[in-house]
Structure 1
Amino acid sequence: MTLIGINVAVFVAVLIFTQDGGALSGSVTDAHINLAVSKQALVVTGEWYRLLTSGFMHFGILHIGLNMYFLYILGPMLEQPLGRVRFALLYFASLFGGSLGVILLDSGGLTAGASGAVFGLMAAAAVGMWRRGINPFRTSIGSTLLLNLFITFVIPGISVGGHLGGAAAGAICATVMLAPGHQPMPKWATYAAPVAVGVASVVLSVLIVQAA
């Protein structure tokens, strides 16, 4: 709920400070230009904070509404077994993984939104089920993940890199963080895994941009 509150607060702040009603319908505002992420923007500006801030910016009410709905559904499923701290680490590892995916795969337009982190949570939930011997594709989580991946590739204007990068980061984290009880991981590893994925995503993003 804290993450939902932060995302909504940022969305409202953009509306207030830009005084641009187009932000409700998905227009690019000055705030998006300054805070969203793209490889080209990072090459030109070197503003690495965009790797983080882009995950809290949204293009319109529908964009934030869908992302917050999925966060509201997925959050309790993962926060309960992980606890608040590890859930937050998983969320931000997925967010940074999404930013890396944008740099690797997207064509250059500004990208923003919590969907990279949300895809990470979705993939983590699916991997957690698989680790416990449950076929996720026979559950609503698996079908929802497949449907959203299909939409990602079919509908123009959706960040393929952001979604795939977030999903990959979440899946990697969940392999360690959501190990079944009969194959337990050391507790320290369940904290170290998302930290390592998040740091690696940021470092790779910087190296790729600097090499461009």
Structure 2
Amino acid sequence: MAHELDDASASPAVRGLEVCGRLHHRSPRAPLRPRPRPAPVLHLIALDHLAFGHSDAPPVTEFDCTFDALTDLTQDLLGQLGVDRYVMYVRDYGARFGRRLALRDPAAVTTGISQSGNAYQEGFVPAFWKTVWGYWKEQTPETEAGVRQALTPEFTRRQYLTGAADETPVDPGTWQHDHALLSRPGNDLVQLKPLLDYATNPPLYPVLHRLVEYEVRHQ
């Protein structure tokens, strides 16, 4: 599902693309997150990627939910829309396939804005990632049980409240709706796939760093 916010006077030559996978490590909450308001000269395309938000969530037997596969779908959609040059805003999971888009066609991305889109080994917090690292090494009932903690209602709730000085303004309906989408039949298996496939991201970091350094030098 693509939410496109248009301005009648906007130039079709410059568009803003929000590659929005989710707010944190695994949630299909794309439609719930605050999104930047479009400037008068921008078209904003906010994507609910397959298996996230209100897009379809096909079972793992029908769709292999890897970051490369999500990148392929996004690239196909941009081609259908005729978008070949854009500003990219990415957040968390969205950063993984957003950066793959940039690596495939660096000239298409005029500006990049990243929020919680780690691209450094130092960004992995062991308190969370040690269970995921164990799942990368070996997929057993024990390691799967560890990463499944990221699919629980309490984990979802914490994504909205962690760091909040005052929790009272936060509508409980946000994480309840979020978890309801996460709990669609079979979606737990779909969400386990990107957690496993996340292991493909760190090897890309050096390439990303070189790309950023090149862009900074040639601005």
Q: TM-score, normalised by structure 2?
A: 0.26
> 1 or 2, which has the higher helix percentage?
1
